Structure 1
């Protein structure tokens, strides 16, 4: 029988905003610290690497052909992650060296979509340091659509981790019933949801998903304050002019399979939040409800999923 206990770390930290190199170093330090505390899984917030596009709502982001928007966007793209180029190699190496799994929110600039457009992606790296899935956010939310592109179903995958089966979604994807069901149906019992940073988002949906799925749910948010914008930020004065003192207050938390808090939302605190999860609690709660098992009717309703990675071009086989 596998060990039913899993030690998890929620990395509620601030990015070195729009600085890929600086943020990677901060992530590496957090992984190493989590491993030193015997954590077996560490989770980081949505697009922590290199940061969330807060400027859009602060600088009239919908203004067409704006020099400000174009230049900040280009700076953002320059600091995006190109996985094919090896941008995550050092993080993968640390995962392998420390036998720790990682869920990391990144801004991805993928080669298979031409190498210019940006995606909010959630990357799973296993304990061997292997990237096992890259889930591109299916539908960017509201003003995010001015910066991020819609993803596809390729990353709707789950992964074995000791006794658990873990899967994850980005931010408001967690409100989408069908992507949730896509993960439930593959046996997910530890759900990871990543957020840019607000208990407004995490305080309700975390417990709801846990109660619906009878799974553990880990929500991880980042932090961001007005003083956290680097002085090297393009158009910094214009951004700060309308920026509130706090843009991301955290709210990282954990709900158990009964929907009750294991860790209530933590606000304004930077660092690692660590808890131990017991797989047996999943089996206990599935006794009376299992949304894809004994309490489902696939003869009446079924979900069909397209997990093909989308691209503008397709080469015929030679």
Structure 2
């Protein structure tokens, strides 16, 4: 094992078996085992990887109201989304504990505390003891995502200790939202996890920007997605195949150091693990001249209020 100021991380840039929960889980478990063989202490997966990003929406007239096609694809998506309360993540948690590896996993959550029928783009953090420590539901789905995802809440805006590091994470374009970023900075974050559906268009600028703003390490993990990743169990398969491009996500996973320079530049078109070791001392060095929530802040002038209450339609009093 490395010293407390060093953290060996794995970025799992993989494709899902699209909209197939059980088969995608098998791919995820293999990546965790492979990372543990490399003595990695943290592994990160892309946004909505389990069971996949809703690429069909923008290519099949997803905004058509009362469309049988859209209803049937959506129903298939919901059925393949994660139900934590029914044990869908139990095997992942067991692997985390067995191999002492922390996990950030992007997933579609079928949330029981919101009735169990709507789905949320969530980012789960599972610690090295196999416990789900946070489930962050994306605050604002982006553009066409709103046709299939529900809006989340602030309950998952939390940070987690791992050796000398303090980890926090956001989904996709949440990373462009200044206030959620500031919330995590204020909780002591110095290793920021940004997950994406896939493309260096998303990762190549914001990853370095967040690193320079926060003087933290930033890990961006994207997925891959091609037509070949679509199984024949998808409703309206022919229509989807006739309208989507051959490549929908080309990766772009990367790591920026606390000075905003690349530790790992965006990796394209390559499936598998990207492994690197982070040195916590680099965080302290870069905070010397700028610390957005420390010596370079003015809380007497500007402050941020964070509501971490888990939102629900009902409150039951016995």
Pairwise TM-score range, normalised by the shorter structure = over 0.9
| Pair 1:291 & 2:292 matched | yes
| Pair 1:161 & 2:162 matched | yes
In structure 2, the residue corresponding to 1:28 is in which secondary structure?
helix
C-alpha displacement of 1:227: 1.9
Matches within 5 A, 1:12-91: 12-91=13-92
Distance in 2 separating the partners of 1:229 and 1:22 = 12
Distance in 1 separating the partners of 2:270 and 2:33 = 19
Matches within 5 A, 1:228-307: 228-307=229-308
Matches within 5 A, 1:193-208: 193-208=194-209
1:130-149 CA distance string (max 9 Å, x none):
00000000000000000000
Higher mean Cα deviation, 222-231 or 115-124? 222-231
1:156-188 CA distance string (max 9 Å, x none):
000000000000000000000000001000000
In structure 1, the residue corresponding to 2:53 is in which secondary structure?
coil
TM-score w.r.t. the length of structure 1 is 0.99
Runs of 4+ in 1 over 6 A off after TM superposition: none
Quote the residue 2:9 is aligned against: 8
Higher mean Cα deviation, 144-153 or 222-231? 222-231
C-alpha displacement of 1:304: 0.1
Distance in 1 separating the partners of 2:229 and 2:107 = 19
In structure 2, the residue corresponding to 1:232 is in which secondary structure?
coil
Distance in 1 separating the partners of 2:72 and 2:260 = 44
In structure 1, the residue corresponding to 2:18 is in which secondary structure?
coil
In structure 2, the residue corresponding to 1:33 is in which secondary structure?
helix
Distance in 2 separating the partners of 1:145 and 1:270 = 28
Distance in 1 separating the partners of 2:280 and 2:221 = 20
1:184-224 CA distance string (max 9 Å, x none):
00000000000000100000000000000000000000000
Q: Provide the aligned length of Structure 1 versus Structure 2.
A: 316
TM-score w.r.t. the length of structure 2 is 0.99
Distance in 2 separating the partners of 1:310 and 1:243 = 35
Mark the runs of 5 or more structure 1 residues left unpaired by the alignment: none
Mark the runs of 5 or more structure 2 residues left unpaired by the alignment: none
C-alpha displacement of 1:240: 1.2
Quote the residue 2:112 is aligned against: 111
